[in-house]
């Protein structure tokens, strides 16, 4: 019984889902704070960033307006900071335009390749190898 539970918990999809959930919660906090900053900027320009106190005829329309403005700002933040860059990356990948690695990385990888190649050439005549455990 415990073995089955352990297998269920350690299943790759569940762990990935848990990580995604934690990241989503953390990202939600970031987006909420970005909305707070933008609402504060709106408040500096137009007076009060929170319309909750507005109740024409006793109907709490201010709360609805605050929720709509927050939703629009939240949607804009998600769209411009996640959706647009993600779509551009997908378009590049579809065209086969992978971002080129930095020149320093290429140089370093070439040096490593050359060192390994020289090691293989010098160790090939000994018969048992260089003792690297391969």
Number of residues written out for the chain: 134
Which tokens hold the place of 122?
Answer: 């010098």
| Alpha-carbon gap, residue 97 to 75, rounded angstroms | 29
Q: What is the residue-averaged pLDDT of the chain? A: 78
Q: Where are the domains of the chain?
A: 2-120
**130 vs 56, higher pLDDT:** 56
Is residue 130's pLDDT more than 70? no
Q: How many CB atoms lie within 10 A of CB 80?
A: 10
> What number does CATH give the domain 2-120?
1.10.1200
The pLDDT score that the predictor gives to residue 106 is 82
Average pLDDT, stretch 59-77? Answer: 85
Is residue 126's pLDDT more than 60? no
Average pLDDT, stretch 44-67? Answer: 81
List the alpha helices (DSSP H) in 11-102.
12-46, 61-78, 84-95
Is residue 48's pLDDT more than 70? no
Helix, strand or coil, per DSSP, at residue 54: coil
Q: At what angle do helices 2-10 and 12-46 cross, to 10 degrees?
A: 50
Which tokens hold the place of 41?
Answer: 């900027």
Is residue 68's pLDDT more than 80? yes
Taking the CA atoms of 123, 126, 130 and 134 in sequence, report the sign of the dihedral they define: positive
Torsional class of 75: left (φ above 0), alpha (ψ -120 to 50), beta (otherwise) = alpha
Average pLDDT, stretch 2-27? Answer: 79
Instruction: Quick: pLDDT tens for 75-121.
Output: 888 888 888 988 998 888 888 766 666 778 788 888 888 888 888 78
The pTM of this model reads: 0.47
């Amino acid at each position: 019984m415990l073995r089955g539970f352990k297998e269920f918990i350690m299943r790759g999809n569940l762990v990935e889902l848990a990580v995604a959930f934690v990241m989503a919660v953390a990202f939600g906090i970031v987006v909420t704070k970005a909305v707070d900053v933008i609402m504060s900027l709106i408040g500096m320009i137009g007076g009060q960033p929170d319309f909750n106190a507005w109740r024409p005829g006793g109907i709490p329309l201010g709360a609805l307006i605050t929720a709509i403005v927050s939703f629009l700002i939240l949607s804009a933040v998600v769209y411009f900071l996640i959706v647009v860059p993600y779509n551009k990356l997908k378009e590049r990948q579809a065209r086969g335009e992978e971002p080129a690695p930095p020149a320093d990385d290429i140089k370093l990888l070439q040096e490593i390749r050359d060192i390994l190649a020289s090691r293989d050439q010098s160790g090939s005549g000994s018969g048992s190898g260089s003792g690297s455990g391969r």
